[in-house]
Amino acid sequence: MTRLIVADTVAQVRECVKAWKKEGLTVGLVPTMGYLHEGHASLVQKAREECDKVIASVFVNPTQFGPNEDLEAYPRDFERDCALLEACGADAVFHPVPSEMYAGDFSTWVDMQGLTAGLCGKTRPTHFRGVCTVVSKLFNIVTPDRAYFGQKDAQQLAVIRRMVRDLNIDVQVVGCPIVREEDGLAKSSRNTYLSATERQAALVLSRAVAQGRTLACEGEKDAARIVAEMRRVIEAEPMARIDYVEAVDADTIEPVERLSRDTLFAMAVYIGKTRLIDNFIVRTTEA
């Protein structure tokens, strides 16, 4: 096992990547906010398969949290993250402090229109500005050949693909499947917020996904009918409060009425105070 290089500064990352590129090696980036789980591990493993060198970033990005969100409470355990990254075969981790990424007079933002307005953007109006800004900074710092993101954050994945296209960023964005617990709950660092009873109640998200998927597989083409059935499943759980359940075009995030193009069924549901997301895509084109 190679020893994980820990870089705290932009200069250290640049030096490391420069040496790799001088040898003609390809570089894969796995951006994360830490408190890693098997979902992140699957991204590192995919990057390991496809790239000569793999670097992960562990940075709880303050600019993607709203004023009343869980920035302070967000779980952190860098030692454990490093152990997981090393076990998955990552070569390096970038772990900056906030001031390394955001100077006191930081004033340049990547702010996307359209795709960021719906779904999570409705309740988290500044979230994607923070995500786009930090991800473009990470792309500039690391200059990876490929970057790996989970399909669980489906809107984020669509937004990053669009940003890369719009800004001509020279990176291949790779989306990776949702990783679930044995009982179906999508892996998330925020699952640690759930009490035992909430953890049980949270299974309603994956049950709604399964129900929606079954209807689509049976040939239902009316998106509203599928959404209504998913809502019915969630509403049967007293601890669940729906933020949204919607059917949208998987690339443009525009509302879909009939399943004639790749359709993303996405939801955000509060279980107690914890906001969880889940989704599935019904593909009409080759993935």
Report, as residue numbers or ranges, the catalytic residues: 40
What's the closest the beta carbon of residue 199 comes to ligand PAF, in angstroms?
A: 21
What's the closest the beta carbon of residue 133 comes to ligand PAF, in angstroms?
A: 9
The piece of 27-35, 170-178, 217-225, 259-267 that touches ligand PAF (CB under 6 A) is 27-35
Length of the chain: 287
Q: Which residue, 41 or 134, is less far from ligand PAF as judged by CB?
A: 134
Is 64 among the residues that bind ligand PAF (CB under 6 A)? Answer: yes
Q: Which residue, 133 or 263, is less far from ligand PAF as judged by CB?
A: 133
**How many residues belong to the site for ligand PAF (CB under 6 A)?**
10
The string of DSSP letters for the chain reads: -PPPEEE-SHHHHHHHHHHHHHTT--EEEEEE-SS--HHHHHHHHHHHHH-SEEEEEE---GGGS-TTSSTTTS---HHHHHHHHHHTT--EEE---HHHHS-TT--------STTTSTHHHH-TTHHHHHHHHHHHHHHHH--SEEEEETTSHHHHHHHHHHHHHTT---EEEEE---B-TTSPBP-GGGGG--HHHHHHTHHHHHHHHHHHHHHHTT--BHHHHHHHHHHHHHTSTTEEEEEEEEEETTT--B-SBSSS-EEEEEEEEETTEEEEEEEEE-SS--
Is 157 among the residues that bind ligand PAF (CB under 6 A)? Answer: no
Q: Which residue, 85 or 134, is less far from ligand PAF as judged by CB?
A: 134
- By rule CB under 6 A, what string of x and - marks binding of each residue 176-215 to ligand PAF? ----------------------------------------
Q: Which residue, 101 or 259, is less far from ligand PAF as judged by CB?
A: 101
What's the closest the beta carbon of residue 102 comes to ligand PAF, in angstroms?
A: 12
Is 33 among the residues that bind ligand PAF (CB under 6 A)? Answer: yes
Among 16, 134, 208, 240, binds ligand PAF (CB under 6 A): 134
Among 28, 31, 39, 175, binds ligand PAF (CB under 6 A): 31
What's the closest the beta carbon of residue 153 comes to ligand PAF, in angstroms?
A: 5
Is 171 among the residues that bind ligand PAF (CB under 6 A)? Answer: no
Edge-to-edge order in the sheet of strand 53-58: 5-7, 92-94, 53-58, 27-32, 146-150, 172-176
Is 121 among the residues that bind ligand PAF (CB under 6 A)? Answer: no
Q: Report the alpha-carbon distance of residue 115 to residue 127 in Å, rounded.
A: 12
Strand partners, 136: none
Is 155 among the residues that bind ligand PAF (CB under 6 A)? Answer: no
Q: Which residue, 29 or 194, is less far from ligand PAF as judged by CB?
A: 29
Which residues contact ligand PAF (rule: CB under 6 A)? Answer: 31-33, 61, 64, 131, 134-135, 153, 156
